[in-house]
Structure 1
């Protein structure tokens, strides 16, 4: 077919398609909060959609989480230099340094019409000269911790939100504006459902499964103060299978992973203990779907666990007052304990009293996630982005 010269009337009518980037500049768990949205946007609207990351592994995961027939519309592009990747490898980090990656990619990023991203640190790109694209905040996690209501969210031009709980608090805090946000549900559910392997089980028997999911926060998490004793007592008791799968940021470099695994070495060989310092299963809801009881502190994964209401037990690792604290609103979904020596009694109590918490769990889930049966959350999110950017639908 002969090429159309740029000077012909037909070429003059064909404006270039808007360029939209989905930037994944942090740990792999954030990919699941946006990758199926990118896929739906590429399928449904006239735009060039690129997936950007400084990590080869992240791009591999992104390809795996998208349908093969979308790959003719999506481009998966590595950003940042090989020197930054060597730096990350030298310290055992899962991702190259964020800010240096943005600095190296600043001219490339500035060529986009919009950049969608699930974390706030990268808004620093504005100060690096990336001023042209509109920034779109992809909700990553729907918990209660104050960090989920980061003041930097106000820097975004548009924000996607999982449900009414977040919308109320973000509006009250001045983080979002009327007409510049959309409640779209939780696209991660779809990405996670696509990722999980049916039939996989970490244990050979059918004992009840406890998921211990400590957060990385030194101030709010339970790992440093209670973790080793809790794991030891549950493992030695023998009535339960125990999955220890912390928030991935607890083990996101070589030093942290080594410290985590060293603390668990006395029980690592036991058949009723499964330790996961950060595999894909720790981010695709494999464990929150299979567990019979959730044991944790302030991770937003509690709400993913409540997709099916089940017993929960929370650890107040620092003895802080929490009852009227909105950052701990999820602690109303089960008993709260402070003494690691009483963990077994607390587990039994959480199981025995679950009926007292089940209705609250269901209501908390509904308030957190605006989910319409049969409606794709990823499609809703893509449609909201398309409306904001005034993209034309594909014919």
Structure 2
């Protein structure tokens, strides 16, 4: 990495695998459309590297340089802290001396400006690309203004960043959601997950325990599908729930006694990230994850949202996605909500309206938009 200089653009893949699908095609498109800048991809773990390499091969191997950082020594200890990957902060000290002379660094992490300040990195432009389309306050943090430029998914984020984070329109541009391009390019033959053709429900709780429904609702959901074997259940929480289980003090042990043939439990697999479960399911059960956008973009289908923290959500913009389905607050109302969702989608019109606001979709892919905009931004500096 010693040759990184003002003719280099660096794309950082040092967070979890759930970030990679959003950034890899913008990086590869950037390498493909121009030869003014060298394109460098830096990975922080093997799971990220596997996605990067497979996508690069499928995308006809554009000219770019790829580096996988070695794990910090302590993470060679088996099951060290039971984490799925080393935390990003463990890599910043190592990479800061290489990236500080680049033309630009592109990241999907809100924390990148903090590390630029900590290590006094002031030459590269710092670019942010959203890793999802969430509507929580987190996605509209005024500190996003510390980035030099933002690539945003749609008109909703563009407007709200102006109104609530006071970010000037000159610092951002709408590109769409590059992960949707990745899903279209990379999604392989759909595996048969169950030995039946019954309706399949996909439960995908968020990783943040202060927002997630998993603590209060996981047992009632598993019990419902244990009894109601006319339906299938994919029980696949966000992988960060497994990653942070020690920190949260939450035991992720759901396999017993829930071993029915109609229940698939996956606590840290890739199939929840690569669109496999999305494509295989008929009803989405969730809380605050931006996965709902991918769900509706794949095709509009019923959604059930679990209001486990009894939020007064209707006038709260952080819960904009809940307009896409039935919101359940009482566990006693769960069964009727699931039964209704199995037979009809009463929210299709609202779902289609939601997606139009959340994601730009036109005759050019989001990855192409992002690559072109990034190149033009650098040329105009």
Fold shared by both chains (TM-score > 0.5): yes
The residue aligned with 2:378 is: 389
Q: 1:51 to 1:348 in 2, by over 3 A?
A: same
Specify every segment of 5 or more residues in structure 2 that has no aligned partner in the other structure, as ranges: none
Q: 1: distance between equivalents of 2:81 and 2:60?
A: 35
Equivalence for 2:99: 109
For residues 192-249 of structure 1, the C-alpha deviation after alignment (integer angstroms, 9 at most, x for no partner) is 2333221312111100010011111222211011112212212321121100111221
The aligned counterpart of 1:281 is: 271
Q: Structure 1 stretches of 5 or more lacking a match?
A: 1-15
TM-score by length of 1: 0.88
Aligned match of 1:194: 185
Contact 2:305 2:322 in 1 (8 A): yes
Aligned to 1:306: 296
Deviations 1:135-182 (A, max 9, x none): 110111002122222333111101101100111111112353222211
Indicate the residue corresponding to 1:99 in structure 2.
Answer: 89
Q: What's the counterpart of residue 8 of structure 2? A: 19
1:34 aligns with 2:23: yes
**Which residue does 1:13 correspond to in 2?**
none
Name which of 351, 368, 377 aligns with 1:379.
Answer: 368
The residue matched to 1:381 in structure 2 has which SS? Answer: helix
TM-score, length basis structure 2: 0.91
Contact 1:229-1:341 within 8 A present in 2 as well:
no
Taking structure 1 as reference, are residues 260 and 383 closer, same or farther at Cα in structure 2, changes over 3 Å only? Answer: farther
Partner Cα distance (1:199, 1:334) in 2: 26
Report the Cα distance in structure 1 between the residues aligned to 2:30 and 2:266, rounded to whole angstroms: 33
Instruction: Specify whether residues 357 and 383 from structure 1 end up closer, same or farther in structure 2 by C-alpha distance, changes over 3 A only.
Output: same
Q: Tell me, what secondary structure is at the counterpart of 1:34?
A: helix
How far apart are residue 365 of structure 1 and its match?
0.8
Q: CA deviation at 1:386?
A: 0.5
The question of 1:144 aligning with 2:144 is answered no
The answer to whether the 8 Å contact 2:236/2:265 transfers is yes
1:43 maps to: 32
1:129 match: secondary structure: coil
User: CA–CA distance in 2 between the matches of 1:68 and 1:239?
Assistant: 39
| Alpha-carbon separation, structure 1, partners of 2:252 and 2:105 | 37
- Residue matched to 2:126: 135
CA RMSD between the two structures: 2.3
1:228 aligned to 2:219? yes
1:55 aligns with 2:45: yes
> Is 1:324 aligned with 2:315?
yes
Is 1:184 the counterpart of 2:155? The answer is no
Q: 2-side partners of 1:35 and 1:55: how far apart? A: 15
Q: What SS does the corresponding residue of 1:30 show, helix, strand or coil?
A: helix
C-alpha distance in 2 between matches for 1:219 and 1:82: 30
Partner of 1:76: 66
Question: How far apart, in 1, do the equivalents of 2:71 and 2:193 lie?
Answer: 38
User: 1:121, 1:185 → 2: CA distance?
Assistant: 22
1:56 deviation in Å? 2.7
The residue matched to 2:313 in structure 1 has which SS? coil
Greater gyration radius: 1
